[in-house]
Amino acid sequence: MNWQNFQRFTALHLKLGPCLSWHIGPPCLRNGGSHPDFTFQSWVEQRLEYLAVRPFHALDQEACDSDSDSRSVTYVIWHHIGNEEQPFSRLRYISSDGGGTTIAQAIANLVDWHSRYWALQENRPLVLDAIVRQTTRRRRGERYYRESVEIFLVPDVAQPTPLIKSTEEFANPA
């Protein structure tokens, strides 16, 4: 990807800063780190195939992570606790709920987690910021991979409905 195009993209989408720095490049480049063969700019120019913001309705809710010899697809849900944290404060890999977990299942699990720890506190809603699909392509004989990042911003109308559980439900889980 052209460095100037990347800079324009980031200027147009300032709120995506934490998300972009997490997903682009190897982990050692995060937060100003170094890599023996790349700077962040050279990684973007040589290894980032494309970066896009997509409409949320275009995301297949039944999709799950996949991995093969030449390609892997990873989904990450970015969220925060409303009125408590900044957007893009937390992330959750959908694979953390087990292999084969779909996006819809991971969101349901996240809503359940929120209902157990945050929903009883007044005015602390779960806010989904974005779902990121990161695709990594490896070619035989190449030392490093190429990647593409697609960001599906979650609109207000697609925010999950909070589950409110009574204290009895927590004391006596089914």
Please report, for the chain, the start and end positions of each structural domain, with discontinuous segments joined by +: 52-171
CA distance 107 to 68: 25
- pLDDT of 173 strictly over 70: no
CA distance 173 to 159: 26
More confidently predicted of 126 and 139: 126
36-83: per-residue pLDDT in tens? 888 999 999 999 999 999 999 999 999 999 998 889 999 999 999 999
The pLDDT-based confidence of 94 (bands split at 50, 70, 90) is very high
CA distance 35 to 29: 6
Sequence-ordered alpha helix ranges (H) in the chain: 3-12, 17-23, 40-47, 103-117, 167-171
- pLDDT of 134 strictly over 60: yes
Percent of the chain whose predicted confidence (pLDDT) is above 90: 61
| Helix axis angle, 3-12 to 40-47, nearest 10° | 110
- pTM exceeds 0.85 for this model: yes
